[in-house]
Amino acid sequence: MDEALHERVRDVVAAIPEGRVATYGDIAALAGAPTPRLVGRVLREDGGDLPWHRVLRATGKPADHLGGEQLARLADEGVPARDGRVELGRYRWDPR
């Protein structure tokens, strides 16, 4: 296993500001993960205290098993979802 990567991913996810969202691909790039799939893997194990609800797929749709749960939390943080989808062009986190 790669503990370092594991920790980096947690860091990145934890760094996502409120009212912003990021895609698995972004997290992977920032954390240096070879593929976005690993990001999902990490979240599945360590999701605990991390704001995993701010991580969406490239399409702006939440992961299948999360359903509307994630959208509900986002809406509560000020990220409206239109028809089960978030406007990434607007709410996508731009780390700068």
Query: Cβ closer to DNA: 18 or 49?
Result: 49
Q: Which of 95, 8, 94, 92 is nearest to 46 (CA)?
A: 8
Pick the binder of DNA from 8, 57, 73, 92 (CB under 7 A).
Answer: 57
Are the C-beta atoms of 20 and 53 separated by less than 8 Å?
Answer: no
Interface with DNA includes 37 (CB under 7 A)?
yes
Pick the binder of DNA from 16, 21, 30, 39 (CB under 7 A).
Answer: 39
HEC profile of 27-57: HHHHHCCCCHHHHHHHHHHHCCCCCHHHEEC
Site for DNA, rule CB under 7 A: 1-2, 23-25, 34-41, 43-44, 47, 52, 57-59, 63-66, 70, 83
